[in-house]
Amino acid sequence: MAAAKIKFPLIEQGATFKHVIYWLQADEVTPVDLTACAAKMQIRSTVESAIVILELSTVNGSISIIPSTGRIYFEVSDEITATLAPIKNAVYDLEIYHPSGETTRLAQGTVSISANVTRN
């Protein structure tokens, strides 16, 4: 299965970011069973960049999975997004780690971080 090419939703600097995706079977109805799976997503300015702008994962709590529904939920606090520099067309990919040891790159594409105008 090739990774889906998806423009990830805009991340707004200084605002809580929330997003959800569902991984479904080819019939587009039946959820993929994600029991005991983990996930990680990294955002970088370019594929070649050594600097990770933001990492979301099941380990750091910014990604949560509901296995029976194929639901993958992303949440980043406003405190964390406030530290991000604005950038257009950064790149990301999302990997799912299965208990069998297999890795699936579920999605990849671009993401932007918009500047916060209102500040304390």
Whether residue 66 is contained in a domain is answered as yes
Residue 115, both tokens: 């500047």
pTM of the model: 0.92
9: containing domain = 4-114
Give CA–CA dist 78/99, Å, rounded: 32
Q: 54-102, pLDDT tens digit by residue?
A: 999 999 999 999 999 999 999 999 999 999 999 999 999 999 999 999 9
Read off φ and ψ for residue 71, nearest 5 degrees.
Answer: -85, 130
- Across the chain, the runs of DSSP E, i.e. the strands, are 4-5, 11-12, 17-22, 38-44, 54-57, 63-66, 71-76, 87-97, 103-114
Residue 119 within any structural domain of the chain = no
Cα gap 112→120, rounded to integer Å: 23
Tokens at 15, concatenated = 């605002």
Confidence tier at 118 by pLDDT (50, 70, 90): confident
Which residue is it, tokens 């070649």?
48
120 inside domain: no
Assign residue 32 the CATH number of its domain.
2.60.40.10
Asked whether residue 22 is domain-assigned, the answer is yes
Tally the domains of the chain.
1
